[in-house]
Structure 1
Amino acid sequence: MDIDPWLWWLIGAAGLGIGLVITAMPELAMLAVGAVAAAVTAGVFGGDAVYQVAVFAVVSTALIAVIRPIAARHRAQRPQLATGVEALKGKQAVVLERVDSSGGGRIKLAGEIWSARSLDTDRAYEVGQEVDVVDIEGATAIVM
């Protein structure tokens, strides 16, 4: 039984797809697309083996060269929407009980009451003052 070259390319693409699922390496998907392009070249245009390999190499390389930098840029970007504790950093709060560096004070932050301490050890904030939240450590807001 003689198998057509386009079928070998599709088998190779399927193997690369399985490898993609197992390893989660996106480059394998780009190689699989290159193999499909080579299969189309073999099946539709009937190109010889050198032409098929050239199409595979060019398509795969082009996809890797174009898509990898875009994916890396997206992976490096921080999420636009801050949630949880990250969303509270930089917010203003109102002092409910005197806040100093010892950590015994209380503030009202985003409608909730938080324990708080001063970032600056020499600074204390009195009831009613507005403070800025610079960090959250556990359940304690660090303010200034």
Structure 2
Amino acid sequence: MEWLLDNGWIIWLILFLGLAAVETITLDLFFIMLSVGALGGLVAALTGVGAVLQIVVFAVVSLLMILLVRPVAVRHLRKGPADQLDNMDRLIGATALALEPVTSLSGTVKIGGDTWTARSADGVPLPAGARVSVARIDGATAVVEPALSGPDGPPPIVHD
């Protein structure tokens, strides 16, 4: 036990590396913040402070990283160019063909060559063969509404 107290920095180093390894699996920027806290505990151990103060340094650094740094880092990582839409955003407003009746509970539509489960946005049933517009994506389900007809007839189905 005395050896462990004299060489506590080894425990902090193992904790630092272990938490960093877990972060590589989860990729949610939580464990890396704890890893930085363990790095703070490692520095405290190397300066010769007691075990209780090392734990306090770990807790304070980890908490500050989670509360102050993580939200900024997550926002920065998820922010893309304004003109670049992800795959789900590209589908919103696209026209589709109802392959079977679409109700508020079930149905299928074809969007650009892909078959999606669908449900009606306003609960009004849509018949098979109807042209619909994607209002939003809810998980793996396209929430659709009747497509508006323009002066040239109904909008065409979008094929990517």
TM-score range, shorter chain: 0.5 to 0.7
Measured in 1, the distance between the counterparts of 2:12 and 2:150 equals 72
Matches within 5 A, 1:12-51: 12-43=15-46, 45-51=47-53
Measured in 2, the distance between the counterparts of 1:16 and 1:76 equals 22
What is the DSSP-based 3-state SS (H/G/I as helix, E as strand, rest coil) of the residue aligned with 1:26?
coil
Matches within 5 A, 1:94-133: 120-121=148-149, 123-124=151-152
Measured in 1, the distance between the counterparts of 2:24 and 2:45 equals 26
The unaligned stretches of length 5 or more in structure 1 are: 90-118, 126-134
Report the CA distance between 1:120 and its aligned residue. Answer: 4.9
Measured in 2, the distance between the counterparts of 1:48 and 1:82 equals 51
Answer whether contact 2:29 2:74 (CA < 8 A) is retained: no
Q: What do you get for the CA RMSD once the two structures are aligned?
A: 3.4
Amino acid at match of 1:63: M
Identical residues among aligned pairs (%): 32
User: What TM-score, normalized to structure 1?
Assistant: 0.55
What is the DSSP-based 3-state SS (H/G/I as helix, E as strand, rest coil) of the residue aligned with 2:30?
helix
Measured in 2, the distance between the counterparts of 1:13 and 1:136 equals 56
Deviations 1:49-98 (A, max 9, x none): 11000100000000000123224434664641337995xx9xxxxxxxxx
Amino acid at match of 2:3: D
Is 1:139 aligned to residue 159 of structure 2? yes
Measured in 2, the distance between the counterparts of 1:23 and 1:124 equals 50
Amino acid at match of 2:14: I
The unaligned stretches of length 5 or more in structure 2 are: 94-146
User: When the two structures are aligned, how many residues end up with a matched partner?
Assistant: 100
Q: Which structure is larger by alpha-carbon Rg, 1 or 2?
A: 1
Q: 1:77 to 1:18 in 2, by over 3 A?
A: closer
Amino acid at match of 1:12: L
Q: 1:60 to 1:81 in 2, by over 3 A?
A: same
Report the CA distance between 1:122 and its aligned residue. Answer: 6.0
